Chain A
C-alpha cells in the first residue's frame, strides 16, 4: 500500500494524543457550561429571520416587478433553513434547550432528505468516521472518486461532470445517500426490491417537498404560476450549489487527509480529535459568510465539537488554532476561492487512474504495521 505515507503525525505519542484530547475537552466543557439565553436568542432570532425571508420571498415571487428579489429571499431562506438552522439543530446543538421545536429528535428541514436518514449518514457515519475510507460515505457519495485509495474505475473519468451534477441536484442526492445506490447500480450487492423498500419514506418526503414548491405555490399564483415555478426552481438550485460547495470545501481541499480503516481500531478520544482536525478545513469570511455557510466555514471546530452551537465556533477558533500550534498540528484554512480551487484540482486529478493528490494519513505511532487499506466498495 504505497499510498499510505508516513507523516509528522505518526510521531505523536499516546501522551500527546491524551493532552490534545484534554485541551479540546476543556474548551468543550467550558462552552457547554456557558450555554444559555444568548444561544437561545440567537437561534430563535435566526429561525424568525428564516421564516420572514421565506414568507417575503414566496410573496414577492407572485409580484412580477420584485420577482428577482423574491427568488433571492427564498434562496436565503432555504440556505438558512438547511445550514445554520437545520444542519446545526439536527446535530443536537440546541437539544439542551429542551424545546421540542429546536430538538434534533423532531426537527425536519426544507430539503428532500428526511431528517432521519440525514442523522444516520451525516451525524453518525460522517461525523464518527470522518474521512475514513469505506466508512465515511461522504468521501465521494458513492458517485465520485475523492481519494487515490479509492480504486479507479472507468466511470470516474466523469468525476468533473458528476461533481457538477451533484452540486445541481444536491438535495436529492443527499436524500438518497443512505440508500447507497452504487450498491445496486455498480456493485450489485443490494437488490432493487431492497432499494424500493428503503426509498418509500424518502419518496414520501420528496413528494411533499416537490408538491409544495412545484405545484401548490405555483397554483396559488394563478396565471403567474410559471414564474413561481421557475423562481422556486432557482431558489432550490441556489441552495443546492451553495450547500454542496461549502461542504466540499470542508473536506476535499488537497491538503485534507483521509484515513485507512485501521485507524479506528481502539481509537482514543485524543486520536479521534486529531483525525477530525486533519480531516477538515476552514475557509475565511465575514459574519455573513459564516451565517450563510451554517458556520461550516469553521469546519474544523464543527468536527471537533459537532454539538456545540455553531455560532460559538468563531469565538473558540483562536483557541483551537493555538492548541494546533502547541502540538505541531496543521490548521488548514484559506479563502473560499482558494479552498474551492484546491477541491476542484483534487476532483480533476482523481478522475485519472494515476491521480496522486489525495493522501491517506498514517498518523498512529502505535500502529507499527499499517493495515492495508481496503479497496473502496470492493465486492
Chain B
C-alpha cells in the first residue's frame, strides 16, 4: 500500500485555517477574528499566547504552583527563560515575569510556574488565592538570555535563592531528562526548610543521580542544611572546581551581589550567568526626583528631573504624540515598560509592572523605562 498515510482530517485544523484566512479577517474587520471567537473559546487566539489554568498546587504555605496549558501559539522555551504572565485583578490586567520551572522536554505540554507570596506581592497573592483551574491567563513567548547554552557545558553549577529556584530548576530537570553525564552542583538558599519549594524533588534527584549534588543553606538556624547560613566563600569549599563550571545564578539582590562579587574577584565573571528578580518592589518617596528615565525605543536616557514624562521626553529631544497635555485626550498614552509613576492629578502611584500610561500627567517615581 501507499507509504504515506493520508493526513487525518481534523475539524479543528480546518477551522483554524478558515479563521486565519484573509476572508475571515475582512469579515471580522475592524475588531479581528479573536474578538469574536474568544467569547466562546477564551484561550483561542490567532497570534496571542493564552493558557488555561489546569491545576493550582501549594508546595509550601507561602507559594503557589500553576500548571498552564498554552494554546497553539506557544513556541516553547529554553531552560532558564521567563514568560510575562498576565492576570486580571479587580478589573485591571497585571503583568509579571515568571520563569517556567518545568523541563523543556516535558511531554504533557504544560508550563509550570511557581510564585512565592510576600507582603507586597499583590499579584502573587492573587495567583495563590484568586486563580482556579479552568481560568484563562495571558502569556508572552519566552524571553530572556538567561538560559542553558545549546551546547551543554561540561560542568554545571546552579545557585539559587528563594523563588529564584524556578529557572535553575528548569535547567536541572532539562539536563536530567537529557541524561546529562556531567557533574551538576546545586546550591540553594531559603529561609527555612518548610519554605523551600521543590525540596522533595531536589532530594529525590540527588538520591537517584550520582552526578547531581544538592547543597542546601537556610537563613534560620537548625534547619538541617548542608550549608551554614547565607552564601559565603566557605560554601564553595564543597565545590572546589567551581572555576571550571558554567554557573547559573538567580536569587534575591543581596545574594546575587555576594556571588557576583566573588566571581568577579576570581576573574570568572564570563562564566557566571545571572537572572535578576526582585522579591519586593522598592517604595520610593515620590517627592524625590531620583533615578533615570529611559526611552527604550529611541535608546536615550535622561536623569529624572521630576517633570512629567511628556516634558522629559520632549526635553530629551523626542517628539511623542501629544494633545491636551492635561490628561483628557489620551493622545500621549504610551507603554511604560518598568518603574513607578505618580498621577499628577490624583497623586496615585502606579504599579511597577508594564502598563499603558498618559505621559502628560505622569511623573516618574524613581527610574522609569518608556517604550518611546
Contact = CB atoms under 8 A, between A and B. Distances in A.
Given A40-B88, A95-B330, A306-B328, A209 B94 contact: no
Contacts of B345: 25, 28-29
Nearest to A48: B39
Given A105-B356, A109-B30, A110-B30, A123 B91 contact: no
Majority SS at the chain A contact face: helix
Please indicate which of the listed interface residues B30, B39, B94 has the most CB atoms of chain A within 10 Å of its own CB: B30
Contacts, number: 111
Contacts of A212: 26-27, 29
A37 B92 CA distance: 8
Please indicate which of the listed interface residues B36, B323, B326, B329 has the most CB atoms of chain A within 10 Å of its own CB: B329
Interface residues of A, number: 49
B36 A95 contact: no
A120 B331 contact: yes
Interface string A76-102: 000000000000001110011111010
Interface in A15-60: 25, 28-29, 32-33, 35-41, 47-48, 51-52, 55
B23 interface: yes
B13 interface: no
Interface string A167-205: 000000000000000000000000000000000000001
A55 B36 CA distance: 9
Nearest to A272: B326
B329 A99 contact: no
A311 interface: no
Contacts of A357: none
A99 B330 contact: no
Interface in A300-342: 306-307
A75 to B, nearest CB: 18
Contacts of A123: 323-324, 328-331
Contacts of A220: 27
Nearest to B357: A95
A98 B328 contact: no
A127 interface: yes
Given A33-B346, A36-B91, A99-B93, A124 B39 contact: no
B257 interface: no
A212 B24 CA distance: 11
B26 A211 contact: yes
B16 interface: no
B298 to A, nearest CB: 18
A96 B329 contact: no
Contact of A105 (B31, B91, B333): B333
Contacts of B27: 212, 216-217, 220
B91 A97 contact: yes
B276 interface: no
A351 B30 CA distance: 38
Interface residues on B, range: 20 to 34
A91 B323 CA distance: 13
B26 A127 contact: no
A368 to B, nearest CB: 26
B91 A35 contact: yes
Contacts of A29: 345-346
A108 B31 CA distance: 7
B50 to A, nearest CB: 12
B63 interface: no
Contact of B26 (A33, A120, A208, A307): A208
B90 interface: yes
Nearest to B28: A212
Contacts of A96: 91-92
Given A119-B330, A124-B329, A128-B323, A37 B90 contact: yes
Interface of A: 25, 28-29, 32-33, 35-41, 47-48, 51-52, 55, 90-92, 95-99, 101, 103-105, 108-110, 119-120, 123-124, 127-128, 205, 208-209, 211-212, 216-217, 220, 269, 306-307
26 contacts: A29-B345, A29-B346, A32-B348, A33-B348, A40-B88, A41-B91, A51-B31, A91-B330, A95-B330, A97-B88, A97-B92, A98-B355, A98-B356, A103-B333, A105-B333, A105-B356, A119-B330, A123-B328, A123-B329, A124-B324, A128-B323, A128-B326, A209-B29, A212-B29, A220-B27, A306-B328
Given A98-B94, A99-B88, A209-B30, 15 more contacts: A33-B348, A38-B91, A39-B91, A40-B88, A48-B39, A91-B330, A105-B330, A105-B356, A120-B323, A123-B329, A124-B329, A124-B331, A128-B328, A212-B27, A307-B330
Those 6 A-B pairs whose CB atoms lie nearest each other, nearest first? A40-B91, A92-B330, A124-B323, A108-B30, A123-B329, A98-B93
